[in-house]
Structure 1
Amino acid sequence: MFHFFSNSRNVLHLSSRVLGVGLAMLLAGIYGAYLYGGHLSIVALVSLHAMTIVGPTLLKIGYVMRLLAQHRLSKPQHAVVA
């Protein structure tokens, strides 16, 4: 697992996926919880309202992951001499 996160390109691709999922959750939560005019069960309403909280959280996590990966990719790589 640590090997996956030590590669900056893997983290950059993962951050793109996290950003996409966060945006989809936020938009679906806003539409379902506030804009949809039909009747929904209480479980569905609670889930949609939770998505409006979890979605932006994933956006923030994905954005920080993206910034860290881009920062690590911009630094020159030094060869390790063993």
Structure 2
Amino acid sequence: MFAYFNNPHKVLHLSSEVLIAGLAMLLVGIYGAYLYSGHLSIVVQVALHAMTIVGPTLIKIGYVMRLLSQHRLGKGLTSQVAA
């Protein structure tokens, strides 16, 4: 599993998926918890409110993964040019 995270291209692709999943969770959570006026059970309401917390958390994690993988990709290019 650690070999997967050693490849910055794979981490960059995974970060995009995490960002999309976080954005989707945030938007669905906001719509369902605050904008939808239908009757929902308490379990569904709690889940939707939790999505408004977990969604931005995934966005932050995906963004940090993206920054780290781009840094590693850029670092690899500069070491090749210097050599």
1:50-65 to 2 correspondences below 5 Å: 50-65=50-65
1:24-62: per-residue Cα shift (whole Å, max 9, x none)? 000000000000010000000000000000000000000
Tell me the equivalent position of 1:11.
11
1:75 match: secondary structure: helix
Tell me the equivalent position of 1:28.
28
* Aligned mates of 2:44, 2:2 — CA distance in 1: 37
**TM-score when scaled to structure 2?**
0.91
2:21 match: secondary structure: helix
Amino acid at match of 1:25: M
**TM-score when scaled to structure 1?**
0.92
* Aligned mates of 2:13, 2:38 — CA distance in 1: 37
Runs of 4+ off more than 3 Å: none
Tell me the equivalent position of 1:49.
49
| Structure 1 stretches lacking a partner, 5+ long | none
Q: Percent identity?
A: 73
RMSD: 1.3
- Aligned positions, number: 79
Higher helix share: 2
* Aligned mates of 2:76, 2:61 — CA distance in 1: 25
| Structure 2 stretches lacking a partner, 5+ long | none
